[in-house]
Amino acid sequence: MDRPTAWQLLRQYTKNESLLKHALGVEAAMRAYARKFGQDEELWGVTGLLHDFDYELHPTAAEHPAWGKPILEAAGCPPEMVYAIQAHGGPRWLSHATDSNAERATTSDHTGLPRRTRLDKTLYAVDELVGFIVAVALVRPTKSLFDVEASSVRKKMKDKAFARAVNREEIVRGAAELGVDLDEHITLVIQAMQGIANELGLQGQ
Protein backbone atom coordinates (compact mmCIF):
# COMPACT_ATOMS: atom_id res chain seq x y z
CA MET A 1 0.00 0.00 0.00
CA ASP A 2 1.37 3.42 -0.92
CA ARG A 3 1.31 6.41 1.38
CA PRO A 4 -1.51 8.40 -0.35
CA THR A 5 -3.80 5.36 -0.19
CA ALA A 6 -2.91 4.80 3.45
CA TRP A 7 -3.63 8.43 4.30
CA GLN A 8 -7.02 8.18 2.60
CA LEU A 9 -7.81 5.04 4.61
CA LEU A 10 -6.74 6.71 7.84
CA ARG A 11 -8.91 9.76 7.16
CA GLN A 12 -11.88 7.54 6.35
CA TYR A 13 -11.89 6.12 9.86
CA THR A 14 -10.20 8.86 11.90
CA LYS A 15 -11.49 12.42 12.22
CA ASN A 16 -9.92 13.45 15.55
CA GLU A 17 -7.03 15.84 14.92
CA SER A 18 -5.01 14.61 17.90
CA LEU A 19 -5.23 11.03 16.65
CA LEU A 20 -4.22 12.11 13.16
CA LYS A 21 -1.21 13.97 14.53
CA HIS A 22 -0.28 10.95 16.62
CA ALA A 23 -0.36 8.82 13.48
CA LEU A 24 1.92 11.30 11.72
CA GLY A 25 4.33 11.31 14.64
CA VAL A 26 4.53 7.52 14.73
CA GLU A 27 4.97 7.45 10.96
CA ALA A 28 7.91 9.85 11.21
CA ALA A 29 9.54 7.78 13.95
CA MET A 30 9.04 4.56 11.98
CA ARG A 31 10.60 6.09 8.88
CA ALA A 32 13.60 7.24 10.92
CA TYR A 33 14.11 3.75 12.30
CA ALA A 34 13.70 2.20 8.85
CA ARG A 35 16.58 4.39 7.66
CA LYS A 36 18.63 3.47 10.72
CA PHE A 37 18.09 -0.26 10.22
CA GLY A 38 18.28 -0.20 6.41
CA GLN A 39 14.66 -1.30 6.00
CA ASP A 40 11.82 -0.40 3.61
CA GLU A 41 10.96 3.17 4.64
CA GLU A 42 7.60 3.21 2.87
CA LEU A 43 6.48 -0.06 4.48
CA TRP A 44 7.58 1.03 7.93
CA GLY A 45 6.14 4.52 7.55
CA VAL A 46 2.73 3.34 6.39
CA THR A 47 2.67 0.80 9.22
CA GLY A 48 3.13 3.65 11.66
CA LEU A 49 0.56 5.80 9.90
CA LEU A 50 -2.14 3.12 10.09
CA HIS A 51 -1.35 1.52 13.45
CA ASP A 52 -4.33 3.18 15.21
CA PHE A 53 -6.61 3.80 12.23
CA ASP A 54 -9.53 2.00 13.92
CA TYR A 55 -8.99 3.43 17.40
CA GLU A 56 -11.43 6.34 17.21
CA LEU A 57 -14.34 4.04 16.34
CA HIS A 58 -13.21 1.05 18.42
CA PRO A 59 -11.02 2.23 21.32
CA THR A 60 -11.48 -0.70 23.69
CA ALA A 61 -8.87 -3.40 24.17
CA ALA A 62 -11.47 -5.96 23.14
CA GLU A 63 -11.82 -4.33 19.70
CA HIS A 64 -8.61 -2.44 18.89
CA PRO A 65 -6.61 -3.36 16.86
CA ALA A 66 -8.40 -6.61 15.97
CA TRP A 67 -11.43 -4.82 14.48
CA GLY A 68 -9.31 -3.20 11.79
CA LYS A 69 -7.47 -6.36 10.71
CA PRO A 70 -9.90 -7.47 7.96
CA ILE A 71 -10.09 -3.90 6.63
CA LEU A 72 -6.30 -3.70 6.32
CA GLU A 73 -6.19 -7.09 4.63
CA ALA A 74 -8.97 -6.13 2.19
CA ALA A 75 -7.15 -2.89 1.39
CA GLY A 76 -4.11 -4.87 0.29
CA CYS A 77 -1.76 -4.17 3.20
CA PRO A 78 1.11 -6.67 3.25
CA PRO A 79 0.94 -9.39 5.90
CA GLU A 80 3.96 -8.10 7.82
CA MET A 81 2.29 -4.70 8.19
CA VAL A 82 -1.00 -6.18 9.36
CA TYR A 83 0.83 -8.42 11.82
CA ALA A 84 2.90 -5.58 13.31
CA ILE A 85 -0.23 -3.50 13.84
CA GLN A 86 -1.98 -6.42 15.53
CA ALA A 87 1.03 -7.03 17.79
CA HIS A 88 1.64 -3.43 18.89
CA GLY A 89 -0.47 -3.47 22.06
CA GLY A 90 0.92 -3.51 25.58
CA PRO A 91 2.88 -6.61 26.60
CA ARG A 92 2.35 -9.55 28.80
CA TRP A 93 5.03 -12.14 29.50
CA LEU A 94 4.75 -15.73 28.34
CA SER A 95 7.12 -18.43 29.52
CA HIS A 96 8.41 -20.99 27.06
CA ALA A 97 10.49 -23.94 28.28
CA THR A 98 13.83 -24.03 26.49
CA ASP A 99 16.01 -26.86 27.80
CA SER A 100 15.95 -26.25 31.55
CA ASN A 101 15.49 -22.49 31.29
CA ALA A 102 12.41 -20.30 30.86
CA GLU A 103 12.57 -18.02 27.83
CA ARG A 104 10.40 -14.91 27.96
CA ALA A 105 8.70 -13.52 24.91
CA THR A 106 6.65 -10.34 24.66
CA THR A 107 3.16 -10.49 23.25
CA SER A 108 0.35 -8.04 22.74
CA ASP A 109 -2.15 -7.90 25.59
CA HIS A 110 -4.84 -7.28 23.03
CA THR A 111 -4.23 -10.12 20.59
CA GLY A 112 -1.67 -12.43 22.19
CA LEU A 113 0.66 -12.10 19.21
CA PRO A 114 4.41 -12.13 19.89
CA ARG A 115 6.50 -9.26 18.59
CA ARG A 116 9.03 -11.14 16.49
CA THR A 117 10.52 -8.82 13.89
CA ARG A 118 12.20 -5.44 14.05
CA LEU A 119 9.11 -3.96 12.44
CA ASP A 120 6.91 -5.35 15.22
CA LYS A 121 9.26 -4.23 17.97
CA THR A 122 9.87 -0.77 16.54
CA LEU A 123 6.17 0.04 16.25
CA TYR A 124 5.69 -0.95 19.88
CA ALA A 125 8.78 1.00 20.94
CA VAL A 126 7.79 4.31 19.37
CA ASP A 127 4.01 4.36 19.95
CA GLU A 128 3.84 5.42 23.61
CA LEU A 129 7.01 7.49 23.31
CA VAL A 130 5.59 9.68 20.54
CA GLY A 131 2.59 10.54 22.71
CA PHE A 132 4.80 11.31 25.68
CA ILE A 133 7.12 13.57 23.67
CA VAL A 134 4.09 15.55 22.47
CA ALA A 135 2.98 15.99 26.08
CA VAL A 136 6.44 17.22 27.06
CA ALA A 137 6.54 19.69 24.16
CA LEU A 138 3.12 21.08 25.04
CA VAL A 139 4.21 22.10 28.54
CA ARG A 140 7.31 23.91 27.28
CA PRO A 141 6.83 27.72 27.20
CA THR A 142 7.42 27.71 23.44
CA LYS A 143 5.31 24.61 22.78
CA SER A 144 8.08 23.50 20.46
CA LEU A 145 9.63 20.12 19.76
CA PHE A 146 12.90 21.95 19.28
CA ASP A 147 12.98 22.67 23.01
CA VAL A 148 12.63 18.99 23.93
CA GLU A 149 15.66 16.81 24.67
CA ALA A 150 16.09 13.27 25.92
CA SER A 151 17.01 14.59 29.36
CA SER A 152 13.76 16.55 29.67
CA VAL A 153 11.76 13.51 28.57
CA ARG A 154 13.53 11.30 31.10
CA LYS A 155 12.87 13.87 33.83
CA LYS A 156 9.16 13.98 33.02
CA MET A 157 9.02 10.18 32.96
CA LYS A 158 9.88 10.24 36.67
CA ASP A 159 6.96 12.57 37.41
CA LYS A 160 4.05 10.16 37.92
CA ALA A 161 1.52 13.00 37.91
CA PHE A 162 2.54 14.08 34.40
CA ALA A 163 0.76 12.49 31.41
CA ARG A 164 -0.56 9.67 33.58
CA ALA A 165 -2.13 7.85 30.64
CA VAL A 166 1.28 7.12 29.14
CA ASN A 167 2.81 3.84 30.28
CA ARG A 168 6.44 4.54 31.19
CA GLU A 169 7.21 0.83 31.44
CA GLU A 170 6.26 0.37 27.80
CA ILE A 171 8.68 3.12 26.75
CA VAL A 172 11.55 1.54 28.67
CA ARG A 173 10.63 -1.99 27.57
CA GLY A 174 10.29 -0.93 23.95
CA ALA A 175 13.86 0.36 23.80
CA ALA A 176 15.08 -2.79 25.54
CA GLU A 177 13.27 -5.05 23.05
CA LEU A 178 14.90 -3.16 20.20
CA GLY A 179 18.29 -3.40 21.86
CA VAL A 180 18.88 0.36 21.78
CA ASP A 181 19.95 2.75 24.51
CA LEU A 182 16.94 4.57 25.96
CA ASP A 183 18.44 8.06 25.59
CA GLU A 184 19.43 7.33 21.99
CA HIS A 185 15.95 5.97 21.33
CA ILE A 186 14.28 9.09 22.73
CA THR A 187 16.65 11.37 20.80
CA LEU A 188 16.01 9.60 17.49
CA VAL A 189 12.24 9.85 17.92
CA ILE A 190 12.43 13.53 18.92
CA GLN A 191 14.53 14.33 15.86
CA ALA A 192 12.14 12.42 13.60
CA MET A 193 9.20 14.38 14.98
CA GLN A 194 11.07 17.67 14.62
CA GLY A 195 11.14 16.98 10.89
CA ILE A 196 7.34 17.31 10.77
CA ALA A 197 6.95 19.84 13.59
CA ASN A 198 4.70 22.07 11.49
CA GLU A 199 2.31 19.23 10.73
CA LEU A 200 2.20 18.35 14.41
CA GLY A 201 1.57 21.95 15.43
CA LEU A 202 4.68 21.90 17.60
CA GLN A 203 6.99 24.19 15.67
CA GLY A 204 6.91 26.83 18.41
CA GLN A 205 5.03 30.03 19.06
pLDDT digits (tens, 9 = 90+) for 32-49: 999 999 999 999 999 999
Residue 205 lies in a domain: no
In a domain, 152, yes or no: yes
Residue 66 — very low, low, confident or very high, per pLDDT cuts 50/70/90? confident
Number of domains in the chain: 1
> 32 vs 50, 54, 89, 186, CA distance in Å?
16, 24, 21, 12
**Mean pLDDT throughout 86-114?**
50
Q: What is the model's pTM?
A: 0.89
Spatial separation of the C-alpha atoms in residues 178 and 105, rounded to whole Å: 13
Q: What is the CATH number of the domain that holds 162?
A: 1.10.3210
* Neighbour-count burial of 134, counting CB atoms closer than 10 A to its CB (0-12 exposed, 13-18 middle, 19+ buried): buried
What was the pLDDT predicted at 59?
A: 87
Residue 106: which pLDDT band, with cuts at 50, 70 and 90? low
CA distance linking residue 98 with residue 14, whole number of Å: 43
Q: What pLDDT does residue 84 have? A: 96
User: Range of 178's domain?
Assistant: 3-198
pLDDT of residue 73: 97
Which of the four pLDDT bands, split at 50, 70 and 90, describes residue 120?
Answer: very high
